[in-house]
Amino acid sequence: MKIIISAFLIAMLSACGFTPTYKKGEANYEFVGCHTVSVNPASDESRAFIGPMFPLQVGDTVYFKQVNDDLTVSPVATGSYCE
């Protein structure tokens, strides 16, 4: 059991400092923290969803945002930070 825990901790610590790289044309997602969905879709046509087909409902939480074609991440328009 100690070996499993040690291996898990080493794997987790090795991920620290990891900087993701994105490529144009690929579907990439960035962690944006916890946001509570207040409107879906938003006025700018952005949508909160799980996977490719499951839209989130008002009150659900979203943690990732899709990276734009210019490799930037715009603010979350479908909700606000969790309290």
Residues of the chain with pLDDT under 50: none
pTM (predicted TM-score) = 0.63
**What is the pLDDT at residue 75?**
87
d(CA 14, CA 37): 32
In one-letter notation, the amino acid at residue 76 is: V
Please list the residues that pair with 54 across neighbouring strands: 50
**What is the pLDDT at residue 19?**
65
**What is the pLDDT at residue 13?**
67
Sign of CA dihedral 31, 82, 14, 8: negative
